[in-house]
């Protein structure tokens, strides 16, 4: 009688043979590692964008020269950046809780030579 496997075990057995071995740890890269690498990079990029929009809004406010429309526009940029930061932190906290339950972990350091997460 065949033994049942969990979804985590099944996802770990999926291999991408299109990616060349020099970009992976072996003959293929597991699907879960690709997803977690992409999500980790998306979090970093989103964090950089939040910081950039906040600085941009701050600079516009400083150079507004008392013009109420420019100040309002700068305040909107800064508040949107804060809203983006709240969304980013919320998604991070949610994923920190949910992903280990399904066997994925985006919170390990990335080995940039192999583009794999290194969890010890």
* Mean pLDDT value of segment 71-98: 88
Nearest alpha-carbon partner for 102 in 2, 4, 12:
12
Averaged pLDDT score across all residues of the chain:
76
Q: What is the CA radius of gyration of the chain?
A: 21
pLDDT, residue 66, reads 85
3-state secondary structure at position 3 = coil
Domain boundaries, the chain: 54-120
Task: List Cβ neighbours of 30 (8 Å cut-off, separation of 6 or more).
Answer: 11, 12, 13, 14, 15, 16
* Mean pLDDT value of segment 41-53: 89
Task: List Cβ neighbours of 51 (8 Å cut-off, separation of 6 or more).
Answer: 81
């Amino acid at each position: 009688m065949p033994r049942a496997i969990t979804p985590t075990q099944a996802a770990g057995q999926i291999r991408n043979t299109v990616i060349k071995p020099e970009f992976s740890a072996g003959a293929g890269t597991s699907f879960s590692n690709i997803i977690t690498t992409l999500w980790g990079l998306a979090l970093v990029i989103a964090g950089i964008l939040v910081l950039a929009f906040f600085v941009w809004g701050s600079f516009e406010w400083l150079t507004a020269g008392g013009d109420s429309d420019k100040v309002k526009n700068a305040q909107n940029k800064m508040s949107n950046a804060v809203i983006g930061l709240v969304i980013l932190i919320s998604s991070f906290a949610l994923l920190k809780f949910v992903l280990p339950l399904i066997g994925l972990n985006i919170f390990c350091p990335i080995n940039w030579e192999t583009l794999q997460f290194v969890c010890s």
